[in-house]
Structure 1
């Protein structure tokens, strides 16, 4: 199936190809490698013969004379020929200075709050009241009436009240 390529597109592709080749081969240009020379010769020959340099519809737009990859290669060679002082054209953004990047990393401060800032540390703060002593164990048989009255007569406030002792009752499965 033959493709119909517009003659204007073929001539435009040939003109771009020849300009990129002439810029690269000029005295100020970087020159062409062997692969680039073969690429230009092959593409130019196919454009003059068939009007298109590719046949596979997956490689590019069927209306264009060059495939997407061929167009990319021509652009890259043209860029290489146009560059000055051995470097690619830089963007308009300013480069970061090494001294600026060091000072920024050393002076890092987070945006959010630190939870430790809310804690008040007062050294002279009153200490927690001492914990009550552990209950004493005694045998229920040795518990006298005086001890019962002493625990019942104790004031009901929590400061002066002592915890009631545990009662151990003899008997059970251990003694048989």
Structure 2
């Protein structure tokens, strides 16, 4: 059963799907229609789930489910993955490319491949305080509080070059 995303409680489970290509209004209409239909019929073992979705920054599709009454199981999660693959095909975008990391630099979206991160930090393209999207968050509360954080406060910190401080003897 679909509900507006704002009505999902903070403990709701979320999955974030990222598109490096901007989802323009014509594509957003396809996303809304596809996911609204899916959310209206998404169930686990014949019991409807309270579900929703939202699109953020025109690059992220967030699918959510309130697991208070019924938890999403393997089969129901598989059905959500299937519909997201369908949505990606309809949109002509890859919603499953986990090699691209999204940053918000000066109000603009920047996507960098994982292999580019050390160089991008070293060259100042991004820095430790550049907001990064942590698509690993798994609850609505974490989405609201820990999704967009400075790179240095995320799993990306391992790619930030360490400044060596010479010891004075």
Query: What's the TM-score, normalizing by structure 2?
Result: 0.22
Query: What's the TM-score, normalizing by structure 1?
Result: 0.21
Higher helix share: 1
**Looking at both structures, which has the greater relative contact order when contacts are Cα pairs under 8 Å and sequence separation is at least 6?**
2
Structure with bigger gyration radius = 1
